[in-house]
Chains A and B, each alone.
Chain A
Amino acid sequence: MESVVKLEVQDYHLFYGDFRALRGISVQIPAHHITAIIGPSGCGKSTFLRTFNRMNDLIPGVRVEGQATLDGQDIFEVDVVELRRLVGMVFQRPNPFPKSIFDNVAYGPRAHGVHERARLAGIVERSLRDAALWDEVKDDLGKSALALSGGQQQRLCIARALAVEPQVILMDEPASALDPIATLRIEELIQTLKQKYTIVIVTHNMQQAARASDYTAFLMMDEERAGYLVEYGPTRDIFTNPRHKQTEDYITGRFG
């Protein structure tokens, strides 16, 4: 891998109480690329994704083993508020706050102490532009976010994540609730975002992983239902000539 490693896990395990949800995962995620995580339902894709901003910490009884780093720094030693600023997240269903478009995007910066109106306006514009939503909403920033279409709401949520100037954006099935055109817009957007950010995306949609990512990690469940990494590599290799039969079976639809 030629690029700088942004995120890395080494022999990473995660347990919910006695249950091992992830087993021995080692992956290096390159900066300024899009890495897709694919795999069957229940294989721990989302759990794995949530490692990188410590969202799993919120679940009682969670325990981890192994290394997880951001820019080489142990993420469990970073202040969690700062970590979540550096590592933003976008979820499956668009979840705008029941506030105006402006207030949605300004929410994060305000929480981090930015209150000056002109500065907030600058951040809101930049974030909406980066999320490819500015032209559609610039004349109506006071409108309720809930009045936007599903695709626009999801781009608003991306703008909201961008507003605190993160370095990494985690996306958990960001387009699965959207129609095909809105989905393609999100995929296009992700392509432009990688110039500035490192993107990790969980998707059930294999075509989406094939279309929209640079690297693909394929996770599966072992006999004890723990998720493990089967194969990780450049997306074009994974989808044209995977090394492992399990990967081949999964992406050609012969899994199970």
Chain B
Amino acid sequence: MVRATYERELQRLEDETLVLGSMVEVAIVESVEMLRQRDMAGSRRLIAQDRDINKKRFAIEADALALIATQQPMAGDLRTLAAILDIADELERMGDYAKGIAKINILIGDNPLVKPLVDIPRMAEKTCGMLHRALEAFVRRDVEAARAIPDEDDEVDGLYDQVYRELITYILADPSTIERANYLLWAAHNLERAADRVTNICERVVFTVTGELLEMDVESLQEGAPH
């Protein structure tokens, strides 16, 4: 290998991106689980842990920029590094959505949830599954998978619409639930946005492999709840 050190560093950055991805997956699943169990201490801990996600993202960014500055990556390597910068950014924002859900749990405080959580945990699970496979597609340079995953976003959007409609019925039946219903709607909205960011990651995977910059979010204007 002509550039062993360089190759190692590129590989390490990809690995670190995966580590960041799993931190975010855990944060999303736990944020919803803690909301479901009304675990305030857990939510507080999760809010604090978001700093680790941010730190990791900045470390990846700094190392990627250093590699660009010192090693003059070209072609596929340059695209990989550009993708890593973008993906790290998307992941960090997904972490913020998890933190937002943790904050919602604290804001709801001692009040009971307006309804038991069914579809919101499903949204979290679905989103994390998509994220996991999107990052797998990245390390495997699997364009087909990256092109297919965004279609699954419809399922998350469908669940969001369902949550939205259901919460509206609660509000209509008893306007005193408005605030608590609204909190859950925010949580669902955060997950819906998180899934959209998986689509952005998939776009970067396609870019890494083919050099093609494309928009995969085709249904952003579909009818139903505002996304």
Report A's interface with B, CB cutoff 8 A: 206-207, 210, 239-242, 247-248, 251-256
Contacts and interface: CB of A to CB of B under 8 A. Distances in A.
Contact of A253 (B3, B79, B211): B3
A38 to B, nearest CB: 11
Contact of B75 (A248, A255, A256): A248
B166 interface: no
A58 B147 CA distance: 57
A256 B2 contact: yes
Contact of A242 (B1, B2, B72, B75): B75
Interface in B129-149: none
B73 A252 contact: yes
Q: B1, B73, B75 — which one has the most chain A CB atoms within 10 A of its CB?
A: B75
Contacts of A248: 75-76
Interface in B199-215: 210-211
B6 A240 contact: no
A69 to B, nearest CB: 32
Q: A210, A240, A253 — which one has the most chain B CB atoms within 10 A of its CB?
A: A253
Contact of A251 (B6, B75, B210, B211): B75
B74 interface: yes
Nearest to B73: A252
Q: B6, B74, B211 — which one has the most chain A CB atoms within 10 A of its CB?
A: B74
A55 to B, nearest CB: 31
Interface string B1-30: 111001000000000000000000000000
Interface in B55-104: 72-79
A181 to B, nearest CB: 18
A254 B76 CA distance: 12
B75 A253 contact: no
Contacts of B211: 240-241
B6 to A, nearest CB: 7
B2 A251 contact: no
Q: B1, B3, B76, B211 — which one has the most chain A CB atoms within 10 A of its CB?
A: B76
